[in-house]
Chains A and B, each alone.
Chain A
Amino acid sequence: MNFTAMGFKSNQAVADTQNTQDTQDVDLLQCDSEYLKVCGLRAAYGDVGVLHGIDFSVAKGQIAVILGANGAGKTTTLRALTGMVSTEGSIRLAGEELVGEPTAEIVRRGVAHVPQGRGTFGDMSVEENLLVGAFVRNDKQVRSDIAYWYQTFPVLGERRNQPAGSLSGGEQQMLAIARALMLRPSLLLLDEPSLGLAPMVTRFLFEQLKASNAIAGTTMLVVEQNAGLALSVASWAYVLEAGEMVLAGPACELAVNDKVRRAYLGY
């Protein structure tokens, strides 16, 4: 991988520092600096309540994962964070309340959200999709960031002038993630990034996410079906069942928890 565009270190070095840091500082980070703090979060579609008052938090610079069965409310949780579903309770980002803010204003505070199903602009070119990703930025490095993503995901560079809708599902997922990171977010929300991707591509994608986390310090909250991979990348994990948080803990502990093993890791 070539990180020269952003002056990055090699991927492996990045992953190493991340791992050592994870195992040592998890507990400290958790109580020390809650970058995202959610309390008593309720969300509903019309009259149907989906989240019944959940609490969770993500420390600054951390990768946290939410596991849960289909329909548990994972997508709804992320949508509540970016103001896309009617919500009660409290969501604080760096101490500032987000509940009641319109989506665009939440994004302008540095929250990027890759929705389930990607949400690429199908009739706009790959390059335009990336440009829209940087819409709220005013700095001069937008072009070099685009060049960086073309290097990271060469297929995006090769097809920069083609409509995003003509890319394969996996390619569109890469585009959606690159587009979200074009914001240079401080918090990245990812809803099932591995959906429809080949295992190789999924692993590559998670390496990239881990690299962004280590280099830019991007805090991440990931919803993921591939629990094994997610738990290996994340430092903190939550389990959501029918709109309630039923488990929380360091990812390495949850990975050996019997219940989690049976329900999400399948052994």
Chain B
Amino acid sequence: MLFCRLATTLGTFDISLDKLSDGELWLAQFFRGLSDGATYASLALALVMIYKSTGFINFAQGSLALLGVYLVYVFSVEQGLPIAVAVVCAMVASALVAMFIERTFIRPFPPNNVLPLVIVTLGLLLIIDSAVGIVWQFRTRSLPSMFSDSAPIQWGIARLTWRTIGNLGAVFVVVGLLYVLMARTKIGLAFRAVSSNLESAQLMGIRVGSTLGFGWALAAAIGTLSGALVVPDLLLEPSVMLRVLIFSLAAAALGGLDSMVGAVLGGLVVGLTRNLLVTFLDLSELALATAVAVILVVLLARPTGFLGTVRRERV
């Protein structure tokens, strides 16, 4: 056991055999991991969508999701709307904001030169995060969840809650809808054409700018949903989505960056790994570092992730 050796040499971690042989604890952490994993998966989906179509990671997506979650807070807690309605309104609102941002800050740059665009998205990340901090202050709040924390199924401490089921269900619904959108609709066809070959897509009369704007809007709505799923388990404060973004990046990278199914698998793997490591190795301080370590190990072994495509062109 590499981990045991590592732990004993360091001499600081306490791995009791009791814990490791506790089936209920395993199951409990498994459920928790699935639930977290589902939320990482949904933000990872949004990251993958933009990566596929533009060839870069949009770091501002965590911030758009953050803005979305605060809107959920405003609509539900402050305006008193039912939480599900508040989430839908916030998804629509963040989609509109994303379209505006794409139009104003992204479209002026040539779409085939990635570096300036990545820098712009990093700038947007900082701007949106601090704007949220200024508007809503840096104090923590709690956000209601769409799904109750009661458990229809329970073995001792292992509880399969409605929230876990709801989070997983939401991700599968999103994947299903995205699949139908991409495979069966005209805008989906345009989106895939732009992802596949930007110049050829233009030569087919596809308006690349508005197609990518649509992608941004969709990704922001999904990001907001992801935030609305994960934040009730944490506390709402202006840096909450940054942590989620890092785990989601890990998930997207594991899945191969350009595969939607890969993003979902990656999200679940990151969620499970994180919860199991934190529980059995007492690594809660190092949770972020372990996420990065997991990405590194997988990408070293398999540079294209689980399901990423090797870019291969015939000449």
Using a CB–CB distance below 8 Å, which chain A residues touch chain B? 82, 84, 102-104, 107-108, 112-113, 115, 117, 119-124, 128, 131-133, 135-136, 165, 167, 169, 172, 179, 183
> Would you call A136 and B203 a contact (CB within 8 A)?
no
Q: Contacts A124-B192, A132-B201, A165-B314 given; 13 further ones with Cβ under 8 A? A: A84-B199, A102-B207, A104-B207, A115-B200, A117-B315, A119-B200, A122-B196, A122-B197, A128-B192, A132-B206, A136-B205, A167-B314, A172-B314
Q: Which of A103, A122, A123, A128 contacts B203 (CB 8 A)?
A: A103
A214 to B200, CA, bound (A): 27
> Would you call A124 and B196 a contact (CB within 8 A)?
yes
Closest 8 CB pairs of A and B: A119-B200, A136-B205, A107-B205, A121-B196, A103-B202, A132-B193, A104-B207, A108-B205
> Would you call A136 and B204 a contact (CB within 8 A)?
yes
A172 to B197, CA, bound (A): 15
B22 within 8 Å of A (CB atoms): no
B309 within 8 Å of A (CB atoms): yes
A128 / chain B contacts, CB cutoff of 8 Å: 189, 192
> Would you call A132 and B189 a contact (CB within 8 A)?
yes
A167 to B314, CA, bound (A): 9
Among B207, B208, B312, B315: residue with most chain A CB under 10 A: B207
A135-B186 contact in complex given A104-B208, A121-B196, C-beta closer than 8 Å: yes
> Would you call A135 and B196 a contact (CB within 8 A)?
no
> Would you call A124 and B206 a contact (CB within 8 A)?
no
**Which secondary structure dominates chain B's binding surface?**
helix
A114 to B204, CA, bound (A): 10
Q: Which of A123, A131, A172 contacts B309 (CB 8 A)?
A: A123
A135 to B190, CA, bound (A): 8
Among B189, B314, B315: residue with most chain A CB under 10 A: B314
The minimal Cβ–Cβ distance linking B181 to chain A, given in whole angstroms, is: 15
B313 within 8 Å of A (CB atoms): yes
> Would you call B205 and A120 a contact (CB within 8 A)?
no
A172 / chain B contacts, CB cutoff of 8 Å: 314
The minimal Cβ–Cβ distance linking B258 to chain A, given in whole angstroms, is: 9
Looking across the interface, which residue of chain B has its beta carbon closest to that of A180?
Answer: B203
> Would you call B203 and A119 a contact (CB within 8 A)?
yes
Looking across the interface, which residue of chain A has its beta carbon closest to that of B202?
Answer: A103
Looking across the interface, which residue of chain A has its beta carbon closest to that of B193?
Answer: A132
The minimal Cβ–Cβ distance linking A128 to chain B, given in whole angstroms, is: 7
The minimal Cβ–Cβ distance linking A77 to chain B, given in whole angstroms, is: 15
Among B189, B202, B205, B314: residue with most chain A CB under 10 A: B205
A167 / chain B contacts, CB cutoff of 8 Å: 314
B192 / chain A contacts, CB cutoff of 8 Å: 121, 124, 128
A82 to B196, CA, bound (A): 20
The minimal Cβ–Cβ distance linking B196 to chain A, given in whole angstroms, is: 4
> Would you call B314 and A131 a contact (CB within 8 A)?
no
The minimal Cβ–Cβ distance linking A12 to chain B, given in whole angstroms, is: 32
A113 to B206, CA, bound (A): 13
A107 / chain B contacts, CB cutoff of 8 Å: 202-205
> Would you call B189 and A131 a contact (CB within 8 A)?
yes
